[in-house]
A and B are shown apart, each in its own frame.
Chain A
Amino acid sequence: MPEPLQTDSEMRARLAASSVAIIGCGGLGSNAAAMLLRSGVRTLTLVDFDVVEESNLNRQLYFRDQLGRPKVEALADTLLRIDPDARLTLVRERMTEANLVGFVRDADVVIEAVDGAEAKAMIVNVCMRELPTTPLVTASGLAGVDSANSIVTERPCEDLYLVGDLTSDVRAGLPLLASRVMVAAAHEAHAAIRRLLGFDEP
């Protein structure tokens, strides 16, 4: 855990020298990537095997003219419009227990941003076991219309940050709304930024 930085220039320099790996470039990951880049993190690894579909456009940072394109490529185009000098590593692969660590081991912080509960548990369990000193941000519980205030960032152990209301899974009556998904994405991005700058959750 680095010491908290105090000055603007120190913070800018730290973020510019940091790298974040984002596993999953859907509602959480695509929006978190843009927020990290706009906040000054200029080195990102983007991992996603999927292509942009119509059903993504209600909450994910993609556009109609990107339908059918690999998400990592479409997202990279958008991110490079924000920061043409961003250093982006694109990984168009489905994550497995066997390949996961190889893609994210060099990151200063890893963000889990996938959709399924099973994949979330796999990513957390593998990263915590194989990369025990790399901070990991994960999200659970962001569907539905409950208050945005019920989405929080907790730290259940030293290097794990847990974002969400922890209970609202996607099901009938609990859709994924852009507003609440982006609250969770912002929590994930901000947890990573705070950690990179040496601040911590209570």
Chain B
Amino acid sequence: MDVDVALFAFLSDYQPDGLGGRSARAFHLSPGTTVADVIADLKLPDQPRIVFVNNRHADEAVALHDGDRLAIFPPVAGG
């Protein structure tokens, strides 16, 4: 299955193509892959993050489906 993955802010450095930027990239994933699996495969740092699937807030345990759009956003400090 194909899933679009967008990584925001400093997480964009972890896109496999190394090009950075927040635009989504197409990932080919096995059926049943979860958000947590994608996070582990990309070796994202263990830092606070917020996950959206298809423009809805999602838990990391959620399984992805063909055509889904996954976005991961890391808040940064300051207030």
**Given A27-B79, A120-B48, A139-B79, A162 and B73 touching (CB < 8 A)?**
yes
Q: Is the CB of B78 within 8 A of A167?
A: no
User: A8-16, A97-105, A124-132: which lies at the B interface?
Assistant: A124-132
- Other-chain contact of A170, B9, B52, B57, B77 (Cβ < 8 Å): B77
- Chain A, range 137-155, C-beta contacts under 8 Å to B: 138-143
Q: A173 contacts the other chain (Cβ, under 8 Å)?
A: no
Residue of B nearest to A180 (CB): B78
Q: Indicate if the CB atoms of A169 and B52 lie closer than 8 Å.
A: no
When chains A and B are docked, how far (Å) is the Cα of A193 from the Cα of B40? Answer: 39
Chain A's nearest CB lies how many Å from the CB of B37? 19
**CB proximity of B47 to chain A, nearest CB, Å:** 7
Residues of the B chain whose Cβ atoms lie less than 8 Å from the Cβ of A162: 73
Q: Counting CB contacts under 8 A, is B74 at the interface?
A: yes
Interface assignment of B31: CB less than 8 Å from any CB of chain A: no
A108 at the interface (CB under 8 A from B): no
A26 CB, nearest partner CB in chain B, Å = 5
Tell me which residues across on chain A come within 8 A of B77, comparing CB atoms.
115-117, 120, 143, 169-170
The verdict on B42 contacting chain A, using a C-beta distance below 8 Å, is no
On B, residues with C-beta under 8 Å from A are: 8-10, 47-50, 52, 55-57, 59, 71, 73-79
30 chain-A/chain-B pairs, Cβ below 8 angstroms:
A24-B79, A26-B79, A27-B79, A114-B79, A115-B77, A115-B78, A116-B79, A120-B77, A121-B49, A121-B75, A122-B48, A125-B57, A129-B59, A139-B78, A139-B79, A140-B9, A140-B73, A140-B75, A140-B78, A142-B78, A156-B71, A156-B73, A157-B55, A158-B56, A166-B76, A167-B9, A167-B10, A167-B76, A169-B78, A170-B78
